[in-house]
C-alpha cells in the first residue's frame, strides 16, 4: 500500500484519468472527491463488499 500525505485541495493522480482530491479534513473524517471515467466503478468499500456478496449468493442459489 502506498501511503501519501495530502492537505485539503491537494490531489493524487492514478494513471492518466483518475484524480483523487482531498476536499476537507474535519476531526477524524476526511472528505475526498474522485474524478474517474464513467466506465470505472467507484464505490465505498462496504457497498463494494455487499455487491460482491450478492453476486456470490446469486451464483450459489
The percent of residues in the chain predicted with pLDDT above 70, rounded, is 100
Once rounded to an integer, what is the mean pLDDT over residues 30-39? 97
- Look-up of cell digits 472528505: 31
Sheet holding 11-14, edge to edge: 11-14, 18-26, 29-35
pLDDT score for 61 = 74
Amino acid at each position: 500500500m502506498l501511503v501519501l500525505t495530502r492537505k485539503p485541495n491537494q490531489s493524487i493522480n492514478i494513471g492518466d484519468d483518475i484524480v483523487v482530491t482531498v476536499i476537507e479534513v474535519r476531526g477524524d473524517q476526511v472528505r475526498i472527491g474522485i474524478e474517474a471515467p464513467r466506465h470505472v466503478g467507484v464505490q465505498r468499500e462496504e457497498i463494494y463488499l455487499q455487491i460482491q456478496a450478492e453476486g456470490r449468493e446469486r451464483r450459489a442459489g
